Every structure is written in C-alpha cells, then in structure tokens.
C-alpha cells in the first residue's frame, strides 16, 4: 500500500472535468476564438493559435456538457467557437462536395478528424442536422487522402494542392477516430468500412505503439465497440503494454503527456470490460487503472484554482489543449463504473 500523509483529500474527477469545461467557456471570446495561451500567474496572453486545438476544445467542453449537463453557458460558448470555425476556416476542397479545414495555407489531416469529433459531439447538444452534414463532407476529404499502405497524406497546401512531407504522430489516429464517430452518428457503414481498411494495414506494422498513441487507442476502442474482433484489441494491447512498461513520459513533469496516456489507458479498460470476464482480463484492467490513478494524481498537481491546467515542469503557461486533454482523462475516469476515488495528499509510487 502507498502510505498516506496527513489530511488526504478526496477529489471528484467529474467535478474536475466540469470545472475545466467552465474554464474553456470562460476563455471563449465573443467572436468565437479562444484565449489560446497565457501565463496563469500574470495573465499575460501569448501569441499563436491552432485550429486543431480549437476543435479539440469544442469537443471536450461539449462532451462534458452532454455527459454531465445541462451546462447551457458551456454550450453557448461552444456555439460561438463552432460558428466562427465554420464561417472562417472550413472551405470546399477542389471542386467537389468535400470540405477541409484551412489554417493559413495548410490543410492538416488531424484537423479534419478533430473537426468531425467537435461537430458530431456538438450536434448532440444542438440537434441540428447541418453539423452532421458538414462532418460528412470533412470525412470525404479524409478518405481522399488515404494511401495504399493504409495511412494518409497528413498535410497539403490548400491553394496548390501540393502534398507536404510533414508527418504527425497524432493525425492518423485522429482521422480514424473521426471517421468512426461519423459512422456512429450517421449509421452509414461506409465510414467504418473505410476506416477498417486502413486499420488492418496499420496494425500489421504496429502503428502508434512506439508513440503511445492515445488517439489510436480511442479509435481502437471504437472499432471494438462496433465490431469486436481480436485484431483491434491486440493492436490496442501492444500500445498499452508500451505505455505501462515505458513510463519515461512521467519524467517530463508535463500535464499533457500524463493526461493523454491516462485517457488512452482508460479506452483500453473499456475494451477489456466488454470482453468475457477472466482472471487475465481483470489483471490487465487493474494494471491499467493503477497507472491511471497514479497519473491522475500527478495531473492534479498542475490543476489551477480556476479549473484550468498549467503546462508543468515549472511553467505557468496555460493552453486550451492542456485543459482539453486533462478534461478527457478525468471525465473518462469519473464515468467509469466503480472507479476508486482520487486522493490528494498521498505519497505517490513511481
């Protein structure tokens, strides 16, 4: 047992997620853009912006409202952010019905995936079909980027349509997860079939294992939920094993690497809980949850009094994606049945 110290405090993970969603709503300006990054001690706002993180923030805050709501002020803020995105940044691709999200001159695959996630989750709150229609159009763009090996072109110049050599560790998982959520929202099996065609090729080469890809774990959980085949859970298990046995990400003392692994491990726990009960499966679940609980307690060290999350490693910087990723992990843990409470004021094992 980990020895407790004086005056331990029980933390409700759902309250953490709710308060963080409140903070994202507060950071949403009247024009729909977020106050993207700032120093929490001085409130000095820094330059820079990311449309991918804009979409991720909408997705996270709306998911909290849909799961724990009603939170009308959060949905109102998400509405401003979504309407700005649609009006300013989502454009036709070539001359077809496909749409893409354009940031400066670039179209990034992960942006399409995250925009789909935001639109699908937002559509649940607003019950407006136009958001699902736009998500379909973004899905069409993603499919146009697929290569013979199952992966995708990650970046293009919008104006010239020239592919870029840039490759992200995250974009493929974001795109697949978006396609699967689109299938779930529409009932159109085409999106699942196209995503599966990619996944079968990616699994053969252990895609995302070395990177501890939480986005692939999100996607693999969705695959398994829709079509419970061993290939998905085995691919997920290899990613999870690498997370558990390679804990060097903790040494960075940064909140986001912790949060991403926590959320990914919880996706795998959900896969395991849909399997027939067995001693080996229960052992896998407990190993994952032990790491998650330790990570979440480390993440709490970077939580601020206003509900936001700082970068960590002696940095006071707050950015909307730091909040987003922490929301996802605390929300997922809190929604999981029979999850033990989180206790602060305890010595943590390493």
* Domains in the chain, number: 1
Compute and round to an integer the Cα radius of gyration of the chain: 20
Closest C-alpha to 318, from 54, 6, 24: 24
The sheet with strand 37-39 has its strands ordered as: 37-39, 315-319, 310-312
Strand ranges, E, within the chain: 4-11, 37-39, 90-92, 99-103, 106-108, 155-157, 310-312, 315-319, 342-346
Would you write out the chain's pLDDT as a tens digit for each of its 350 residues? Answer: 233 344 678 999 999 999 999 999 999 999 999 999 999 999 999 999 999 999 999 999 999 999 998 999 999 999 999 999 999 999 999 988 999 999 999 999 999 999 999 999 999 999 899 999 999 999 999 999 999 999 999 999 999 999 999 999 999 999 999 999 999 999 999 999 999 999 999 999 999 999 999 999 999 999 999 999 999 999 999 999 999 999 999 999 999 999 999 999 999 999 999 998 889 899 999 999 999 999 999 999 999 999 999 999 989 999 999 999 999 999 999 999 988 889 876 543 33
Tell me which residue range forms the domain holding 191: 4-346
Give ∠ CA 240-241-242 in degrees, rounded to 5.
Answer: 90
pLDDT of residue 348: 38
pLDDT of residue 349: 37
Residue in the block written with tokens 């805050």: 61
Angle between helices 279-299 and 230-245 (to 10 degrees): 50
Number of H helices, E strands in the chain: 12, 9
pLDDT of residue 341: 84
Closest C-alpha to 204, from 181, 234, 165, 161: 234
We report the CATH number of the domain holding residue 43 as 1.50.10.10
């Amino acid at each position: 047992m980990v020895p407790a110290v004086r005056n331990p405090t029980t933390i409700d993970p759902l309250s953490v997620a709710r308060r963080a969603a409140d903070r994202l709503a507060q950071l949403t300006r009247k024009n729909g853009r977020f106050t993207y990054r700032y120093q929490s001690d001085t409130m000095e706002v820094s330059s820079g912006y990311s449309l991918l993180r804009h979409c991720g923030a909408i997705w996270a805050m709306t998911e909290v409202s849909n799961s724990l709501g009603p939170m009308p002020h959060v949905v109102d803020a998400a509405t401003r952010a979504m309407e700005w995105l649609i009006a300013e940044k989502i454009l036709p691709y070539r001359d077809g019905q496909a749409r893409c999200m354009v940031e400066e001159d670039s179209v990034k695959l992960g942006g399409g995936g995250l925009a789909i996630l935001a639109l699908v989750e937002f559509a649940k709150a607003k019950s407006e079909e136009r958001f699902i229609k736009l998500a379909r159009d973004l899905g069409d763009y993603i499919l146009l980027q697929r290569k013979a090996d199952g992966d995708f072109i990650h970046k293009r110049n919008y104006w010239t349509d020239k592919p870029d050599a840039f490759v992200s560790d995250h974009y493929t998982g974001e795109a697949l997860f978006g396609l699967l959520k689109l299938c779930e929202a529409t009932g159109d099996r085409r999106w699942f079939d196209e995503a599966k065609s990619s996944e079968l090729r990616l699994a053969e080469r252990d895609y995302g294992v070395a990177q501890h890809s939480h986005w692939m774990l999100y996607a693999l959980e969705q695959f398994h939920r829709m079509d419970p085949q061993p290939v998905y859970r085995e691919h997920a298990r290899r990613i999870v094993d690498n997370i558990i046995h390679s804990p060097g990400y903790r040494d960075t003392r940064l909140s986001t690497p912790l949060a991403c692994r926590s959320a990914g491990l919880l996706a795998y726990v959900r896969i395991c809980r849909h399997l027939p009960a067995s001693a080996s499966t229960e052992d896998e679940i407990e190993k994952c949850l032990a790491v998650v609980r330790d990570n979440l307690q480390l993440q709490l060290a970077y939580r601020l009094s206003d509900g936001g999350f700082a970068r960590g490693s002696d940095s006071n910087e707050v950015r909307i994606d730091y909040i987003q990723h922490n929301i996802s992990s605390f929300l997922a843990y809190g929604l999981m049945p029979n999850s033990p409470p989180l206790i602060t004021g305890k010595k943590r094992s390493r």
